[in-house]
Structure formats: C-alpha cells, structure tokens
Amino acid sequence: MQDRLHFVAFDVVTDSREPLADMLRAWTAAARELTAGRPTGSGDTGEAMGLPASSLTLTIGFGPTLFEAADGRDRFGLAAQRPLPLVEMPPFPGDALRSAISGGDLCIQACANDPQVAVHAVRNLVRLGAGVVKVRWAQLGFGRTSSTSAAQETPRNLLGFKDGTANLKAENGRALDRFLWVGEDDADWLVGGSYLVARRIRMLIEDWDGVPTAQQEAVIGRTKEAGAPLGQRREFDPTDFTKQTNGRPAIPHDSHVFLSHPTNAGTAMLRRGYSFVDGTDEDGRLDAGLFFIAYQRNPETGFVQVQRNLSGDALNRFIRHTSTAVFACPPGVVDESDWWGRGLFEPTR
C-alpha cells in the first residue's frame, strides 16, 4: 500500500453508450503508460516529467447509478448487468452525509508514493474524459492508515493510534478468497473483482485531544504507544476478549476494537484508507480525519455488517461520517487488448 491517494468520483454526462466505452478504452491505454512512468501521449499535462512511476496504481469502480438512474432509467443498457449487491449504502445512526461529496457513476483510485504522480494521473484521466464525464467530488489523502502486507509496519491515524492491525493481509490467500474477491455467485463480469466502499470520516480532533490517554485507550481498545490489545503488551499479542482487569473486561465492550474485530463482527475487509486534512472549518477547527476505503466480496456482509455492529461504538462521540459511496471494481485487465469494463460492455466476448 502506497503513501498517497487521489480519489475521484465522476458523473457520466453523455447519454450514449459508445462514447463511454471509448473513454474507458482510452483510460485503460493511458493507465498502462502512467503506471509505467510514461506520459499519456502528446496531450500529457507534463507535471510528472522526470518523475518515476512511484508505485502508481489505478483502480476503477462502477457505481449503482451507472446501471440505473434515480428515476429508474436504464441509462446505457447495463441494468441487466448490475450486480445485486451493488446498491447504495443504507443510513446509519450518526450519519452527517453531504450529497455533493457522495455517490458517483464511476470512480478512480490513484495511489502512489509521490503525491504529484497520483494527481498527474487523475488530471490526465479527467482530460481524456472531457465531454463524457465530469468530476463529482474528489479527495486527497496522505499517510496510509492500514498495512496490506505482513512486511509493512502498522501506521498511525490522526487519533495517534496504530490503525489496521487486524486488516486482511496479502499473504492470507484463503481469507482473501472468503472476504475480498467476488465469487461465481455474482455477476459474471465482476468475478475476481471486489466491491469498494468509501467513507469520509471527519475526526473531531480538538475534542479527542482533550481526553486523557487512558480514556482514549478505553475508547479504542488498544494501548496508544505499542498498539497492543488492552491487557496485553505487544501489538500482535492475541486479542483476548475474556481477559479481566480489576474485575472488568480488559477490552471494554463498547470499544472500537471489541465491536469491529473480525472475531465479533463476523467478517473482514481489506482496508486501504488514508488520512486527510482539508483546512479548517468556520470555527477554526481542523477539518481532518480518515478517508476510509475498504474492499470486500459483498458490501452487505462486509462494511454494512461491521457498521451496524458499531452503532454503540464509544468512538462515535469523536467522529462524523460526511460522505459515502459504493462501487463495483472489475478484475484487472488480462492482456494488451483488454480494457476497463470490457466484460461489462461486451458480455458475450
């Protein structure tokens, strides 16, 4: 997982299917060049000249509204291809969602170890999509808030705690097959892909900073310095929910760890979130937090199940969910003739 993010959601502005498919072909060709550290042809915007690829990856997703408009219209003849799990997120207690930064027909997630490389990639895809799509909303992120491989050290989020200790890891293929990759019980074009759920979670930083460390640890369920489950010493010590301290559970039952841990939530997701700081609000408070991104085999048994479990989370006092989106991400292209969404737009190939 790289250190920088530029995430962008698009609205499709054309009414025709062919220009949309042509744009996806052009985007795929550009993505091949960008991820290799090369310009996107004579029209390239140029700000990444001389920079390496910086581990750039580009991931595309298709939103529910691409298949069916709010009024029920089958916009591009794709309604029959819509995966059944691809539906808008249900409301959750405490949501403070803003429609202007939620949803979208398409999304691109650009991740790199150099922010200029990620921004350059998105800028050129926007350029190539002119007249077909327009940006609906975007989010820049820094400082990954998860480790996706056992080789990566667990990072800290803006609350100061290690984040994503129990995240799915690339080395655990059996768990990935169970919780991450779409299986053959779903839409044919999506098999081997995944569902992306994005949530912009503002952290009430000033409120959090006024809480003593011991109370913060009780809210999270881990020690702040080591990241150990409460009642243990090291980050990867067993999370023992039966352990008692002074006659009480060492890990409080309303803590974030207790309610979200795969043992109690009954599911798992691959988290690829990033921190953000978007200036200050009208009261001079930091507009900062976590841009949460998670991939899963089915949103209903992934994010939705966990979020419902978190309705009594002690952390809810310090966070606000301000945006939401869900997308179906097809499997990666397989050869030079393949392109993003080909299985969706040409299902009989």
Counted domains in the chain: 1
What's residue 348's pLDDT?
A: 63
- The 3-class SS string of the chain reads CCCEEEEEEEEECCCCHHHHHHHHHHHHHHHHHHHCCCCCCCCCCCCCCCCCCCCCEEEEEECHHHHCCCCCCCCCCCHHHCCCCCCCCCCCCCCCCCHHHCCCCEEEEEEECCHHHHHHHHHHHHHHCCCCEEEEEEEEEEEECCCCCCCCCCCECCCCCECCCCCCCCCCHHHHHHHCCCCCCCCHHHCCCEEEEEEEEEECHHHHHCCCHHHHHHHHCECCCCCCECCCCCCCCCCCCCCEECCEECCCCCCHHHHHCHHHHCCCCEECCEEEEEEECCCCCEEEEEEEEEEECCCCCCHHHHHHHHHHCHHHHHEEEEEEEEEEECCCCCCCCCCCCHHHHCCCC
pLDDT (average), residues 339-349:
87
pLDDT (average), residues 62-77:
95
Q: For 9-66, what is each residue's pLDDT tens digit?
A: 999 999 999 999 999 999 999 999 999 999 999 999 999 999 999 999 999 999 999 9
Q: For 259-297, what is each residue's pLDDT tens digit?
A: 999 888 889 999 999 999 999 999 999 999 999 999 999
- The whole domain housing 103 covers 4-345
Q: For 211-247, what is each residue's pLDDT tens digit?
A: 999 999 999 999 999 999 999 999 999 999 999 999 9
